[in-house]
Structure 1
């Protein structure tokens, strides 16, 4: 029995190591899809249409301007997620007792490692893998091998954890990916339909194959990203993460749910001019502790079920 458990634990760690090694490949996959789409939309179809004149040229200008604008925002958001640390627990961090409520986050004696009669110690969270205290909403990532502030999930597509400091960038990446892939699908749809027509199709076989492949890829990504985007919008509206939504299961109330407007501000900031770009205003960073991942406002006098 012990041997079987040991083998299972070993396989889990090998799986985590495989996910870490998959990172650079996934970046190449993302850039590859972007490259194929760019070649199909711009090089094969709409750049040549600029010289056609009349309505075709106007449509081509509009498509190219919108396509390049969304592409810039997509790549900016994507690499912001990739290169932004999601948030680590500061060295020697210690929880502070809430003097008004008289508690912090709960912790069972078995998790803490030693029994204690101190009521404060019984309401702190501790990671036995990192050997450190855990701030509220912090979780340990087995792939990264560390605790991540307000961890949502580890995403192989961005080669990084999605947490407190890069969650907004991840949401914008989903948003602009959906818009870009939807635009590419619509732009390539007439050329895709032409494959099944009886008339003669202009273009080299290579360009036609690239157009066909780009249409199928972008349609698939648009549909899949839409579902993922809707899920995360619902999570943000309730001020919860993927992990928290799973853990709280049927809990009817959530201590961090401050209403949709304030919940959105906890992720995107107070300055709405910055909501759709992957950065924050200096004022928001200074005024909102939640953007740093260590302190989160909650409902007053709310006895929530903690994890």
Structure 2
């Protein structure tokens, strides 16, 4: 019996649902350690410690809200699906044929060639890739993330980056504010000044947040580099060997193709209607190249 390996990959979606539960569990443990056990009780003490506790708890909740908002936007937002029976614009196909020689001289095409997906039996716009887990083509696919049970693509990449950013800031802050309690862990365990359950939760929360902060820093640096050159994780190998990546329009334009032009919304998991209408890259079908900008 023939086994479809790509079909088996769809089983990874089940793992993703456990990841969502794991995220909820980590948030719950951290909330209890930071707010309930460590800093919440200091609100009633008065003086500087009370003010510091208030500031920490407010910052904790603000980052948590932004983190969860971005997270659920990544989970529930369609990264971009190819319209049924999609075909490239015939005028663009003619333009591509007519300019192929000039494009070859420049080292890149004026209009990247559209493809065809044998799995979906449908056309593939430029930068579109088939996801073996989701069993569909995703517009400007970056990767499939088991943590969000979804693909990261053209229409939710901004939300994914904000989720990474706010999770990094939250876990870094949690690590710092739990550090004094972690340092006193062994002395408090010997003196029995705290219950074993609270000590275990503080210890676990500190270790988890430290581990996530360090790992997320690596992801942030990687995706910041990809964002600055307008490259996806899938396109890294394709980009190698090129003099300059054909989608690299300059750092500012590259940033706006993901975050939009409205500065007030850059750090919120939202897009303005104006940006959605005026920036084709946010819709995931059409992407300008260097030749378009420099022409």
Q: CA deviation at 1:23?
A: 1.8
CA 1:87–1:158: 2 relative to 1, 3 Å: same
**Counterpart-to-counterpart distance in 1, 2:276 and 2:4:** 41
**Is this contact kept in 1: 2:7–2:135, CA < 8 A?**
no
Say whether 1:175 aligns with 2:168.
no
Matches within 5 A, 1:183-262: 183-197=173-187, 200=191, 202-262=193-253
Distance in 2, matches of 1:29 and 1:249, equals 36
90-99 or 242-251, larger mean C-alpha shift: 90-99
**Residues 125, 55 of structure 1: alpha-carbon distance in 2 compared, 3 angstrom cutoff:** same
Contact 1:93–1:133 (8 Å) recurs in 2: yes
Q: Which residue is equivalent to 1:290?
A: 281
Equivalent pair of 2:44/2:50 in contact (CA under 8 Å): yes
Unaligned runs of 5+ in 2: 101-111
Please give the alpha-carbon distance, in whole angstroms, between the structure 1 residues aligned to 2:272 and 2:158: 13
CA contact (8 A) 2:10 2:134 kept: no
Structure 2 CA distance for partners of 1:177 and 1:201, relative to 1, 3 Å: farther
Distance (whole Å) between structure 2 residues aligned to residue 123 and residue 247 of structure 1: 14
Equivalent pair of 1:103/1:123 in contact (CA under 8 Å): no
Structure 1: gaps spanning 5 or more residues: 107-121, 303-307
- 2:67/2:166 contact within 8 Å kept: yes
1:278 aligns with 2:269: yes
Deviations 1:111-135 (A, max 9, x none): xxxxxxxxxxx95411111111100
What TM-score do you get using the length of structure 1 for normalisation?
A: 0.86
Q: How many angstroms apart in 1 are the aligned matches of 2:12 and 2:255? A: 31
Which residue of structure 2 lines up, in the alignment, with residue 28 of structure 1?
21
1:238-259, CA deviations, whole angstroms, 9 ceiling, x for partnerless residues? 0010001123223221111000
Superposed counterparts of 1:1-307, under 5 Å: 10-11=4-5, 13-14=7-8, 16-96=9-89, 97-98=91-92, 101-103=95-97, 123-197=113-187, 200=191, 202-300=193-291
Aligned CA RMSD, in angstroms, stands at 2.1
Q: Which deviates more from structure 2 when the two are superposed, residues 269-278 or residues 250-259?
A: 250-259
Shift of 1:170: 0.2
Tell me the distance in 2 between the aligned counterparts of 1:71 and 1:37: 11
Q: Distance in 2 between matches of 1:134 and 1:174?
A: 29
Contact 1:150 1:164 in 2 (8 A): yes
1:101, distance to aligned residue in structure 2 (A): 4.4
How does the TM-score come out when normalised to structure 2? 0.89
Count matched residues. Answer: 279
1:98 is paired with a residue whose SS is helix
Alpha-carbon offset, residue 261 of structure 1: 0.6
- Once residues 201 and 56 of structure 1 are traced to their aligned partners in structure 2, the CA distance between those partners, rounded to angstroms, is 23
Distance (whole Å) between structure 2 residues aligned to residue 123 and residue 64 of structure 1: 52
